[in-house]
Amino acid sequence: MARFEVIAPVAERWDRLPRAVRAVALLALLVLLVILPHLKIPVLNTPDSDFATVLFYPVGIYVLVALGLNVVVGEAGLLDLGYVAFFAVGGYSMGLLGNRVHWPFFLILPVGIALSMLAGVILGGPTLRLRGDYLAIVTLGFGEIVHLVARNTDSIGGPRGVSPIPHPPNFNLFGYHVRFGILDPKPYYYLLLAMIVLTIVVVSNLKRSRVGRAWTAIREDEDAAELMGVPTFRFKLWAFAIGAGIGGAAGVMYTSKVISISPDNFIFQLSILFLAAVVLGGSGNIPGVILGAAVVAYLPERFRSFAQYRIMVFGAALVVMMIFRPQGLLPSRRRAKELLEPEPGGGMGTLGGETGVEMAPRPEAESAP
Amino acid sequence: MPDGAQPGQSGASPLLELDNVQVHYGKVEALKGISFNVNEGEIVTLIGANGAGKTTTLKTISGVRPLTRGHIRFQGQDIGAVPPHRRVEMGISQAPEGRGIFPGMTVRENLDMGAYARRGKARAGLAEELAAVYVLFPRLQERASQMAGTLSGGEQQMLAIGRALMSKPKVLLLDEPSMGLAPKLVAQIFSIITEINKQGTTVLLVEQNAAQALQRASRAYVLEVGKVVMAGPAADLLDNQAVRAAYLGGDIAGDDGNGATSGHSGSGGSGGSGGS
C-alpha cells in the first residue's frame, strides 16, 4: 500500500497549484511536444529509426488509441479485448473512401469516426448485457471477426488490403506551407498532436460531467448504479461508441500516412498492446494512460538493436512493472481505492458476478438440529 | 385499484402492491407467486431464512430482476415493465444488500449519486435533503470528503441508507441493514429507520434479524423458499410460536411441524443470538 503514496502526493500537489501555474506548465509541455521531433536528445532518441517517425507511429497513434480505450476500460470499467477492430474500421474507412471514392481526408475523418462509433454500437447493443469476463470474450471475438472479414472480402482488397491511399491535402498555415508527403513525418505528427489535445479536452470534460459520474458508478458497482437511477445500459453503450470513435480517428490518421494497409495491420496483438498501455499507465487516469501508451509504443523502438530479443525484453519489462506497480505508472486515485475493495460481483475481472448463485434454494436437509 | 379490505390503515389503495409475482433465475424458481402490499406511512418487514427470496423480492421491486409472471403496482400503476432508473424517478429507492456503496467516491460524492435521478426541477431542495441526511447520520458529515471504501462497516451502512434517501423516495427498500454489524450499531440503525419512517417515508425492510425487525415494523410477511407463508401485524408474529421457534431463537422443543425449520440465521452473523 505504501506504493500508492509514491505518486498520490504528486497529483495532489499538482491540484493545489494555482490555476495560472498549471496553465503555464501545460503550455510549456505543449511547446516541448511541438519541438520534440526537431530535438536530438541522446538517450531518448531512437538510434535505429527516425525519431519523428516513431513519434507519429507508434507513439502518437498509441496515445490516441489508449485515450479512446481508456473511456471503455478506465472510465466505464468494460474490458475490451478487441479494440483493434475500431482502429481497423477507421483505417479501412480512410483506405477505401480515399482510394475508391477519392474523398478528401477532412471529409473522411468525421465519416470514419461515425462509422467506428456505429461499429461500437453494433458490437455493444447485443453484448453489453454481459458482464466482466464474458464481455471480454465477446469483444475478443469481434476483433477477430473484423480482421477475418477484411482478410476474406475480396471487394475490399482481401489479404492484399488497400493501396494506394491518398495523404491529407497540403495547406498553408500562417504562411507556413504544410505538406503531407512521404518523407517528412512532422506534419502528420502535428495533426495527430492537435487531435490528441482535442481528444483530451473532450474526454476530460466528459469525465467531469453527469456522463462521467455515471461511468464511475457503473465501474464501481453496476447494480448500485442502476439503483441510483443511472440508465446503465445506455451509458455503457455511449462509452463503447465514444471509445470506438476515438479508436477510429486514430485508424484514419494512421492510414492517411502509410499509403497501403492490409488486414495484418490490425491483428489481435495490437488489442493486447493497447490494453497493456492503458493498464500499465494507470487505467482511468488520463495523464497515466498517455504515459503508458508512450512507454509501450516507445520501448520496442528504442531497443530495436536487440533484434528479435527486443520483444522478449519488452515482455519482461511489462511483467516487472506489473509486479511493482499493479495500479499503473500514474494511477487514478479512485481506481487505487477500488483495487483495495473486493468487488461484490460484476465488475471487470470477476467470473460471472451474479449468475443465480445467490438464489439456490436451501435443501431441506440442511436444517440441522 | 380500490380493492377494499386492505389490512393497513385508511381505505386507499396501497402504495406498493405485489400480485402473484414469480421470478426465475434460469430454471430455478426463486419467487413462486408472492403477493403482499405496503401502505403509505408503514414499515413493512419481510423476514425469512437465507434463500427464502427476500433479496430477490426487493430486486424485483426496484427492477434489476425481471419478473416472469405477476404484477407490481406502485401508486396503482403497473410498473412491471418500467426500467429500474425510471422507478427511482417515480420514488422507489433501495439501499442494496452488502451496502453497495461506491468505494472510490467520497462520502459526499456517494450522496450526490443518490440524487442522480433528480434532474431539473427535481433538484430543488437537494440541499435540504443533504442536511436532513447529515442530521440523521452526523458521522457522514464528519467523513464527507473521505473515500467511502475506507469507512467502517457501520458507516458504510449509514451511507447506503443516506444515499438512498437522497432521491427523496416515497418508499425506501432496505436489504438487511443490520448485516454484519455490532449489536449496538444494529440498535442504532433500527432506531434511525423508525425515525426515517416518522419523517414520512414508507419503509419496506428485509431482515434476518427478525426480532429487531418485528419490533420496528407495523406489519410483517414471512417468506419461505419463494412463498409468503405467514402474514400479519408485526406484534402478532412476534408472539407467534412458530415464528419464535424458527426466527427468534426461541424454544425449538415444541417443533410444531410447521415446516418453519430452515431458520437459524446464516452468514453475516448479526448481533443478538450467539449460535443456534
CA-nearest of A90, A360, A227 to B165 is A227
Asked, for residue A209, whether it belongs to a domain, the answer is yes
**Mean pLDDT for the stretch of residues B110-120:** 93
User: CA–CA separation, A62 vs A81, rounded Å?
Assistant: 15
Give residue A358's pLDDT band: very low, low, confident or very high (50, 70, 90).
very low
**Mean pLDDT for the stretch of residues B14-38:** 94
Q: Is 50 exceeded by the pLDDT of residue A130?
A: yes
Which of B51, B55, B114 comes nearest A360 by C-beta? B51
**Mean pLDDT for the stretch of residues B154-166:** 95
Give residue B271's pLDDT band: very low, low, confident or very high (50, 70, 90).
very low
CA distances to A38, A251, B244 from A349, in Å: 43, 28, 43
Asked, for residue A335, whether it belongs to a domain, the answer is no
User: CA–CA separation, A213 vs A238, rounded Å?
Assistant: 13
Q: What is the pLDDT of residue A57?
A: 92
Asked, for residue A36, whether it belongs to a domain, the answer is no
Q: Do residue B104 and residue A335 have CB atoms under 8 angstroms apart?
A: yes
**pTM reported for the whole predicted model:** 0.85
For residue A105, the enclosing domain spans 53-172+179-267
Q: Is 60 exceeded by the pLDDT of residue A263?
A: yes
Asked, for residue A273, whether it belongs to a domain, the answer is no
Name chain B contacts of A337, Cβ cutoff 8 Å: 103-104, 147, 149-150
Asked, for residue A64, whether it belongs to a domain, the answer is yes
Q: How far is A362 from chain B (nearest CA, A)?
A: 6
pLDDT in tens, A275-304: 999 999 999 999 999 999 999 999 888 887
Q: How many domains does chain A have?
A: 1
Does A13 reach chain B within 8 Å, measured CB to CB?
no
Does A361 reach chain B within 8 Å, measured CB to CB?
yes
**Cβ–Cβ pairs < 8 A, chains A and B:** 112
Local structure of A65: helix, strand or coil = helix
**Residue A148 CB contacts under 8 Å (≥ 6 apart), including other chains:** A263
Q: Is the CA virtual torsion A232, A236, A238, A239 positive or negative? A: positive
Burial of B26 (0-12, 13-18, 19+ CB in 10 A): exposed
**Mean pLDDT for the stretch of residues A302-317:** 80
Asked, for residue A27, whether it belongs to a domain, the answer is no
Q: Do residue B85 and residue A230 have CB atoms under 8 angstroms apart?
A: yes
Q: Is 80 exceeded by the pLDDT of residue B273?
A: no
- Assess whether the previous peptide bond of A58 is cis (omega < 30° from 0): yes
**Mean pLDDT for the stretch of residues A188-195:** 96
Give residue A311's pLDDT band: very low, low, confident or very high (50, 70, 90).
confident
Does A19 reach chain B within 8 Å, measured CB to CB?
no
Q: Which residue would you say has higher pLDDT here, A200 or B269? A: A200
The C-alpha cell of A68 is what? 479512446
Helix (H) or strand (E) holding A172: strand A171-173
User: CA–CA separation, B92 vs B204, rounded Å?
Assistant: 10
For residue A360, give the DSSP letter. Answer: P
Asked, for residue A308, whether it belongs to a domain, the answer is no
Using H for helix, E for strand and C for coil, what is the string for chain B?
CCCCCCCCCCCCCCCEEEEEEEEEECCEEEEEEEEEEECCCCEEEEECCCCCCHHHHHHHHHCCCCCCEEEEEECCEECCCCCHHHHHHHCEEEECCCCCCCCCCEHHHHHHHHCCCCCHHHHCCHHHHHHHHHHHCHHHHHCCCCEHHHCCHHHHHHHHHHHHHCCCCCEEEEECCCCCCCHHHHHHHHHHHHHHHHCCCEEEEEECCHHHHHHHCCEEEEEECCEEEEEEEHHHHHHCHHHHHHHCCCCCCCCCCCCCCCCCCECECCCCCCCC
Name chain B contacts of A226, Cβ cutoff 8 Å: 63-64, 84-85
Whether B71 and B21 have beta carbons less than 8 Å apart is answered as yes
Q: How far is B30 from chain A (nearest CA, A)?
A: 6
Q: What is the pLDDT of residue B45?
A: 96
Give residue B12's pLDDT band: very low, low, confident or very high (50, 70, 90).
low
Which residue out of B23, B85, B92, B225 would a mutagenesis test of the A interface target, given it has the greatest number of A Cβ atoms within 10 Å? B85
The C-alpha cell of B61 is what? 421491486
Q: Do residue A337 and residue B104 have CB atoms under 8 angstroms apart?
A: yes
Asked, for residue A284, whether it belongs to a domain, the answer is no
Quote the mean pLDDT of chain B.
85
